[in-house]
Amino acid sequence: MDKSRIKILIVDDEEDIAHFTAKILQYDGFTAFKAMDGAQALAIFEKERPQICLIDVHLGYSKIDGMDVLRKIKATDKNTECIMITRITDKDTIAEAKKLGVKEYLLKPLASEQWLEKVHVAVNALQGGAK
């Protein structure tokens, strides 16, 4: 699969995380979008229909939090691969995300390229589904 055809949405209220994560993914050949709040994330999702979403559970003061974004994305397209970025204290949300079909989690703080490995796992899952 041509990497540039894989669209990835990063949702994180910390601008530098969203911006530089998108930049790394773009360098890596993917088409990446960033959103800093829930409403922006859903608008981009509707318009671009990314196949993979990295979603921070906690979106600061956004009226729509990361779990709302996940629910709406999954309600629209349950095949979208979502990777949730969580904290260790999020056990209830992690359990709910799993019920919604989330297979991969990232615990903040992000360090090294572990998060990118999770993206590649999601890409492989997409490719598996496409076969």
For other proteins, the binding residues in 71-90 under the rule CB under 8 A are: 87-90
End-to-end CA distance of the chain: 11
Give the chain's length: 131
Told to check if 128 binds other proteins by CB under 8 A, we report no
Q: Which range in 19-27, 33-41, 45-53, 66-74 contacts other proteins by CB under 8 A? A: 19-27
CB closer to other proteins, 73 vs 97: 97
Structure tokens belonging to residue 55 = 């979603």
Tell me the H-state helices in 1-131.
15-27, 38-48, 66-76, 91-99, 114-130
Query: Which chain residues interact with other proteins by CB under 8 A?
Result: 14, 16-17, 20-21, 23-24, 27, 58, 87-91, 94-95, 97-98, 105, 107-113
